[in-house]
Structure 1
Amino acid sequence: MSNSSPSPDVTPTRVGGRYVLRGELGRGGMATVHRAVDEVLEREVAVKLLHAHLATDPAFLDRFRREARAAAALAHPNVVAVHDWGETADGAYLVLQLVDGPSLREVLRRHGRLTPEQTLGVLAPAAAGLGSAHRAGLVHRDVKPENLLLGADGQVHVTDFGLARAAASATSTFGADVLVGSPHYLSPEAVRGRPLDPRADVYALGVVLFECLTGRPPHEGESPFATAVAHTSQRVPAPSTLVAGVSPELDELVLAATAHDPDERPEDGAAFARELSLAIPAGIAPLDLDELAGDTLITRRPPPPSGSTRALDGAEPTRVVGARGTTPPDAPPPRPTAVVPADDAEADDAEAYDEGAYDDVGDGRRRGRGWLVALLVLGLLAASAAGGYLVWDRYLAPITPIPQVEGRAHGDAVDELESAGFVVDVDRERPHDLDVPADHVLVQDLTGTARRGASVTLTLSAGPRQVTIPDVAGDTREVAEARLTSAGLSPEVTERHHEEVERGLVIRTEPAAGEVLDETSQVEVRVSLGPTPIAVPDVRGSAEQDAAAALEDAGLRMRVSGREHDAEAAEGTVIGQDPADGELFRGDTVDVVVSLGPAPIEVPNVRNMLVEEAVSVLEEQGFDVEVERRGGFGAFLRPNRVFEQDPGPGAERLPGGTVTIYAYEG
């Protein structure tokens, strides 16, 4: 970079009351970057000014403010320092530090590729800087070699957080009309329009790691869109497939960092830095930046007053490749053979351009013709790019609604998505789901709107999980419920009597053990209440044999526990039972008492009693009395008296029996 004084025809412009612009460093589609002097702190800075035609656009202003806040929130030695920002009548501006040194892009163009040790020296501190942003809730969204600067002091800086968003509000990479980010470094989820988190930056770091080791990016399509889409359909290959000698550890890190599934990547920049250090145990080998500067002629308008510096903004000056060594200040600049923008015409922010035509040396006419040719070429390229983009944006890959196919049958879902112009991928894994039938779409990873041709991944349902009913017969109620619940089923307990299964134990399940059901299906668990209770029949007053038959019919047994005389019950009649009522269980015994009939009565002695007295005594005892009279001498001596009885005194007769008395006539 030239160290001459500013051109006398350039009038300094003051911004924010304290920043005096000294010269333009780079220009992009959104802003222009100027070298400036902070008159308050007396230091050189870079001032980024929003283009005048955008200064009244609320969307661009909002984006510019977000860039300022996001970058200003970071404080890390490996992240660009943001000194100030504001808005004036002339537009919005951002004040950044200047870094003396090339970008990683310049290094790769000079060296082709780096050794693992040199790669560690660049990417480990860059990843650490990104890790600090990730911890602050920010996602860079545009990690690439152009945005990694190597200072002369050996420090590596991450620049251009112009695309960063707070992780909590990160939006999709595809907007309604522009591809945000650099297609070579976009993660699959960014291309698909998904929300982004720090793992999107890790993916880009993995791609940069691949490029440092091999000298080229992993995917190169015919257009920026084709390059971006390649990240969704192709895996980044292992570096060792292109360059011999790359260690397996570095291969594994590249493949892990660029995994299509974000969950398989390191969680953030700090984790990537740790894994990179472990993959390169030999440590850091610094780059020779002086050697690099010898092959790179950097021209700016006007040069800084105090040595070669670089805006830490991602804006990169045009490089004209010449012979090794520095071009003398009094020699005419070589005729440019190509203009290489800093971000390969894919960046979202400040792009550098060649300002060699402003040097006050060389032939004026040749200079004029050179600029005319350059402007013509640039115009044609711009028109071609714009026309190609419009064709791509409006016809080849327009923004279009994505059909909602969740819950649809697999074939129907694929037909509808493909008819709408989307590419369908089907996840190999099929989770079980209670509500979505097998072979129906459980989840689609992309919803809303996206560009036609985007890939939509469908996850199909395997339907409810199938569960075999365990055999819980004989278990207690609590154990059976726990086993069925653990198997994923829903037990429903019912209780019933069972003559053989003990009370509180499981009789069986319905459906039976061994049958297969859908997960959470209801299974009836039949728990025993013990044998069925039997109401004890009342057999009192029944004949003995009839009572035994009645109890047997009820499932009970009869046992004669005693026989007793009963004045009112005939012999053989049941006059008592135990229990007399209530419930018993099948096979239980009922004790009965059987009547022996009335008890016999001892016949009293009525001899020598008058007939009337004897009859009265016997009848009181319950006997029937028959009287037979005799005449003769006795009638004279003992008239009307009993002289004999049958049966005789002391004999036993049942009540109601007949006692015959013999008496004299009187």
Structure 2
Amino acid sequence: MQEVAKDPLIGSTVDGRYLVLSKVARGGMSTVYLAKDIRLNRNIALKILHPHLAVDNAFIERLQREAWSAASLSHPHVVQIHDHGAGTGHAYLVLEYIDGYTLRDVIDTNGALTPRQALDLMDPIVEGLAAAHSAGLVHRDVKPENVLISHSGWVKIGDFGLSRAVTTNTNTATLLGTVAYIAPELVNGQGGDARSDIYSAGIMLYELLTGAQPFRGTVPIAVAMQHVRDDVPPPSAAVPGLPAEMDELVRYMSEKDPDNRPANGASLLEDLRHIRATLTPAELDAGGSSTRADAPAWADGGVTEAIPAGSGGEAGKLAADSGDTTVLAAAVHPTSVLPAGRRLYVDEAVPDGGTESLPRLSKREQRAGARARAKAAARPVTTLGPRHPRRRALLWVLVVLILGVLGALAGWYLALGPGALATVPNVHNKTVAQAQAMLHAEGFDLVSTTDVFSEQVATGMVVDTDPVHGTSQRRFQGVTLQVSKGPVLYPVPALGGMTLEDAKAALTAGHLAVGSVGGIYDEKAPAGTVLSQDPAAGGGFRANSKVNVVVSKGPKPIPVPTVVGKTSDDARAALTSLGLVPEIAPGQVNSATIPAGSVASQSPQSGELTAGGKVTLTLSKGPRMVMVPDLVGKQVGAATAELQALGFKVQVENLLGGFFGTVRFQDPQGVEAPEGSTVTLKVI
């Protein structure tokens, strides 16, 4: 087996202070080590940024500013930043060391959680986000991997500061690669704020309740576009039996429009605790995966443990101080991961013997509440003066009767009347009349319609409802039918006169596509210009419909014929018949082979021209006249050479065998003759 190379940082000391003990994890931006702060003798988490970030001076400056801001945030549910620095070839952050595991480990180990467990986990997370938002910090990368849980039960959210520093760097792929939780506005490049953290937390709550992420794809961009286009499905669709309040909470947190989400963590925390307080124990324990033998201690289902009033606990002390003769008890729900003494919820006893789930107050809030209770106790609650017991008894009877009638009416209203819960039926692909009848049958009388485009559903048929089918809501609440007005139709732009590239760009911008591209010769339109299109401009067509175009190939080329040797008239007629323009050169040239008046040369001699192209013709003025010298008495070789030098042809006739090789007669002799003509030499 090949031995894994040892990390060179392990055993070394960073900046003379942080002794690196072991590697904990490696991510897209950094490697995390367990280290010891030698100066303070404590374990810390040392996050060493990857080299490509460490050498970016602008990034280091941003990291320093963000680290200063994040370090100013001190909250029990936020991982504290202790220090930061940059050395030769590396930059680092010193963070509070959490001995435990991440929320991702919880999901992978346990799968879907009950609402009680999910809310107990979300409460400290949202509380930490609320503190950060109040301090003007936005996380921008909320996900289970950034939620740390210590073995003693503390929940903390980490990577504040680093997230924003990386998103402002030119290399954003590491952070934005976490597409499973990214808010739509970040995908669209609109920037994010506290509401982006709320969206990511909503996706995380969905995953806690169902054990899976709402959007999946084979490539990251596909998942990112689902965040932009698609609504997050209700958790109850994946885990039947979950209370409708959890569906509503997930929907509220994951709205596409940031304005429709909670404004910040503090607002969400208030809603989250209110929902938890209103759910029944059965609803809190609905859903979830089967109990595992190796499940962590926090996943105990939220069993309530009664504490006697005299046990010395805070609830018991309050009961003893109240002066009631009835012994009250308080029960504490063990939360998902918090240690004793830092519970999220306390079930205080109420007069009817039940329990009411309330948020745990801080010491400052407890002191303020005590002062308010003392002030209320000093206020008289009865009216001084004469009493009329019989009248009071009659009044109480009337009050009880009225309350009974009102209770009966309220019960009818909420159980059987317009206030009763009903399930929105599936009316997809029904006519409007059919859909209205189905909704009326379920008790929904307030039905409206709105028109939407649809590629799959025919015009006039119902595409969907708002709220979607399967949703439970009160009958008096309205249901909107989304009626198809057919697919979106796009007009075809006029492409004539455009270049082919411009035509393609115009079709793409108009949500259409280029079909076949033909070409014909055209004497007027430049090559590459669109001459015609099919279909014609105007009309309406579905997205990506193809438009065929015919493009000019320019003027048709004409091969240049050879007219050398032809008479002037014949040459011009031949060129004109092809659409070319003959031009006669002003000068003429002598030619020993071409008679006068015929074409001696042309330009161009060959190749191709377009219609109207010019061909220049140079005419012959016949052969040149040359004086024939008298060569009688000369040797035949010398005479022949001299005549040939003058451009004549030589014919030799031997007399008596031509034994001496001397020219005895010549014809012609001493007169001018045409160049190239023949001179006869008779030799003896």
Larger radius of gyration: 1
Which category describes the TM-score, using the shorter chain as reference length? 0.3 to 0.5
TM-score, normalised to structure 2, is 0.40
Structure with more contact order per residue of length (Cα contacts < 8 Å, sep ≥ 6):
1
